Structure 1
Amino acid sequence: MQKPNKVYFASDQHFGAPTPQDSYPREQKFVAWLDMIKTDCHTLFLLGDLFDFWFEYKTVVPRGFVRVLGKLAELRDSGIEIHFFTGNHDLWMGDYFEKELNIPVYHKPKEFTYNNKVFLIGHGDGLGPGDKGYKRMKKVFTNPFSKWLYRWLHPDIGVKLAQYLSVKNKLISGDADVKFLGEENEWLVLYSKRKLESKHYDYFVFGHRHLPMVIKVGENSSYINLGDWIGYFTFGVFDGDSFELKEYKPEEA
């Protein structure tokens, strides 16, 4: 058998939204995709908002998602590297993934190198110019004191309240209109170009915008937005030579 050598990327599944029942078919599709890629996957990056809401109490995590978590555990136990970046919907992720699944969790963009290609990878929220309201809100939500206060709510109340706000309130959820703003206005494009002023990156890979995009930001640099698993079902794959953005179609798998 050929040694697994591909690097896969996916983002913005928002499982649990708008209801667990509506989310379930998307979860099944994602698990089928994980099953498909496991034959040639060396490393899997999950770039945030895997759940529409996630909060870890010291001894409690939100119920549900058992098939997704079980499949991730299976892949990790088989030797596949998995990296998880928190998004704005699961920014309260703690050490559950690290302790239960042996999956490292990152809260900021991080650099990786594969086959001499340099990647800067992250969720994408709060980066680049503008969106000052969200940036202020994120500082409040990520403050340890805020998390400590929230833990005093009983999980039955805290989880249900946050799930409701995450779906219903755009200010809390951080959702933006899913419209292409043009290269000159896409803040992650601007962020990528600014980063290139100090260091070369071959690929900037982000989620958050929910729009599949591949945009050249330098002579040998590209910005990729992975889209989502709500309407697009898109993912990225790096085969050692080039990066490709693809749509998962079960009938072709």
Structure 2
Amino acid sequence: MLRLTFSGNPKPKNNLIIFGFLMHRMSFSNPKKIYFASDQHLGAPTPEASFPREKRFVAWLEEIRHDAEAIFLLGDLFDFWFEYKTVVPKGFVRVLGKLAEIRDSGIPIYFFVGNHDLWMSGYFEKELNIPVYHDNQEYTFNGKTFLIGHGDGKGPGDKGYKRMKKVFTNPFSKWLYRWVHPDWGVKLAQYLSVKNKLISGEADVKFLGEDNEWLVSYAKRKLETKHYDYFVFGHRHLPLVIKLKENATYINLGDWIGYFTYGVFDGEHFELKEYKQ
């Protein structure tokens, strides 16, 4: 079992601060597993169209809870999410309820914001007791080192989105947006999320070749200064497993729009699997 003690948000006390970077150390025993998923984009292109995908994702959560030691959600769970002071977007009660139920049962859940739901500011922590991370985190599972994050804005290129992200994450910009009535603000953001690829930060979803995949380049550059056994990201909407140098592996989790893929680590090996309901 994971040796974790929680106080408030489920953050393990047996963490280390190394060169200013938070490293989470976890150990667990078979048959427990750690699960990873990303890019559900619930609400897109319409709430009605995404409803079957939400039900499928909830069914997956219910299935894995029986042997899950921890669950990592790597961003873009929602196609749009903005927290006003007293309002959150309407809908998603099934997935939020299932996450609350699983978390209340004692299973840790960790959420990494994506480029579509980066405006989180406390709701998950307060209502679901799920910690939310806005950047990559390091973990050690059974002696294997992981670098985990959503993946947007990492690596070379994508300069237009990187500039846009600075605007979106600026506290003053968020303060201004909160003055827009939620009925207008949510509809506007949902429209732009689908129509404007600069805002969404989504590149071509076709495999561009190892040398042209920005996250692969990012992982290789990180390996120049420190070894990781696994780099686990979302964002690209492609299920990818690419062997890198020094016994390191880059993994992209795919999505829950066309692939319905997820990652699972059993303490020794990492696999990408498709959920077939």
CA displacement at 1:217 relative to structure 2: 1.3
Aligned residue for 1:206?
A: 233
1:81 aligns with 2:129: no
1:125 aligns with 2:177: no
TM-score by length of 1: 0.97
For 1:6 and 1:16, the matched residues in 2 are separated by 29
For 2:30 and 2:141, the matched residues in 1 are separated by 15
Deviations 1:169-216 (A, max 9, x none): 222222222110111111111100111111110000000000000001
Structure 2 unaligned runs (5+)? 1-28
1:171 aligns with 2:212: no
Q: How does 1:94-243 map to 2 (within 5 A)?
A: 94-243=121-270
CA displacement at 1:4 relative to structure 2: 6.0
Aligned residue for 2:92?
A: 65
In structure 1, the residue corresponding to 2:211 is in which secondary structure? coil
**Which residue identity lines up with residue 43 of structure 2 in the other structure?**
G
In structure 1, the residue corresponding to 2:244 is in which secondary structure? strand
Aligned length in residues: 249
For 1:17 and 1:175, the matched residues in 2 are separated by 14
CA contact (8 A) 1:55 1:90 kept: yes
CA displacement at 1:3 relative to structure 2: 6.9
**Which residue identity lines up with residue 26 of structure 1 in the other structure?**
R
Give the percent of matched residue pairs that are identical in Structure 1 and Structure 2: 80
**Which residue identity lines up with residue 218 of structure 1 in the other structure?**
K
CA contact (8 A) 1:4 1:39 kept: no
For 1:52 and 1:184, the matched residues in 2 are separated by 29
Q: Over aligned residues, Cα RMSD in angstroms?
A: 1.0
CA displacement at 1:86 relative to structure 2: 0.4
Structure 1 unaligned runs (5+)? none
Runs of 4+ in structure 1 over 2 Å off: none
CA contact (8 A) 1:45 1:83 kept: yes
TM-score by length of 2: 0.88
CA contact (8 A) 1:140 1:146 kept: yes
CA contact (8 A) 2:69 2:108 kept: yes
